[in-house]
Every structure is written in C-alpha cells, then in structure tokens.
Structure 1
C-alpha cells in the first residue's frame, strides 16, 4: 500500500509540496444521486417548489463550492479552475435526480476534490430547497467517475459510462 501523502514521517498532517510537479491539463468527473418521492421530482421539473428554481440554485451552489474547496477541506491546494460544470439528469419513474460535475484545470494538482465537492453541495442544495415537501430524500453514491492528467495518470471507475477521460 502507498504511503499517505498528507502525513509526514512523524505522523503529522501536512500540505503536500507540489512545487516540483509539472503543470498538466487535468479533468475530473464526479457523480451522485438524490432520491426522492416522484412527486417531488415532478415539482422540481415544473418549477413548483416554493423556494424557487431548484436546479438553477443547485448548479450555482455546486460551481461555487468547487471554487472554495481549500476553505472547506484542510490541506487542499487552491486551484485556478478553467471550467466547472454541474448537470442534472432526472429519472422520473423512480424519483431520482442524478448529478454530474466536470472540473477542468491546468495545474500541479488534480481536480478530484473540486468535482466531488460540487456534486455534494449541489445535492445538499436540492435537499435544502425541497425538504419542506419531502424530508425523506436521500443523498447517495457520491463518487469519482474519472480523472485525467497528472503524475498518476488517468482513472476511470469500472462500470461507469459517458465520462470523459
């Protein structure tokens, strides 16, 4: 097993030194799911949620969160993102809203945490905006789907389709 990079030889937390890494184009894709009553999903799609346009607010929240990762997660490096996208796919029959984020950056460290954070905060925003009508919603399956670039190379989660990388 590889040694943890955020821990020094004395077991103390540390920020990884990336000064000797080359800048490369990096992209990360993450996905997650919010499951709800089919009626709640219908309300979202028809713009009938009392708090407003759920998907617009969740998309904006996800993008904003991707830009603020170093403020949320200790030891993450600040990145100058080239692109941050959050998209939603409703699955009406089962009351599921699939969320996907895609982050692009040219830098010395990756975009995985930004993609995962974007999905998570977008999902939390959906929950917050809809909790008055459906407290039983669940947020699940938040995962890295793919990443490209960097020293460690590419990654693609087996069984996932449609992701870049």
Structure 2
C-alpha cells in the first residue's frame, strides 16, 4: 500500500488543508475522523491505475459501453481528431461520455439494450445491403457499357 504523506500548507496552523476542507463540508466530523477519511481517499486514489493519455477506438468503446463502430461514428459526429498513432485523447473519451446517446445508457435496462443493439444491427445490415446492391448495379452498368 502506498505511503501517504500529509503536506501542511503555510496558513494551515498545523492542520492539513484537506482536513480543514472535510471538516468544513462535513459538520459533525472530528479532526481525527476527517484525517482518517482524507487518508483513505488518498489511498483509494493512489491505488487506482492511472488513466492513459490516449486510448484506441476499441478501448474507448469498452470505456463508453458502445460498439467500436458506434464510437467511430461518434468520433466523426463530434469532430474528434485522433493523434498521429490513431488513438483518441482521454479528454475526448470524457467528452463522448457526456454525449446524449451515451448518457441514455446509464438508465438503460438489459432488455432495452438488447432491443437497441438488435435495431442497430438491423440498420447496419440494411445499409450494407443497400451499398452492395448499389455496387452490383454499378458493376452491371459498367459491364454493359464495355460490351457496347
């Protein structure tokens, strides 16, 4: 477990600033309870893995809870640019987390999510079918043009 060092600020009169803030925000807490709470919070924070500065589209999709294709579409919709390595800045992932379509996921039931994903899959298949038909029509037209 990481060691937590308490820094005393110049105007703290011997009491760490974070403890003063906790006591001010949580009336009824003693200084010892506030210090214990502050140490616990710092330990929890120190124990977390640091967030990477950039993530891949697949990693962003996992963080947001959407498919890779949906996140790729959101990137273009919100005009989020990738870095030179094709990764997304973590601040942009935070921006995507506040997007309306992602915020709606928080209250979504498993049944609603399954229905939404089924609808997204159906729309995706319809779009692919439309594109395939258009490509076949172009190929037929080109073949007819070459024969004439």
TM-score by length of 2: 0.23
Q: Which has more radius of gyration?
A: 2
Structure with the largest fraction of helix? 2
Structure with the largest fraction of strand? 1
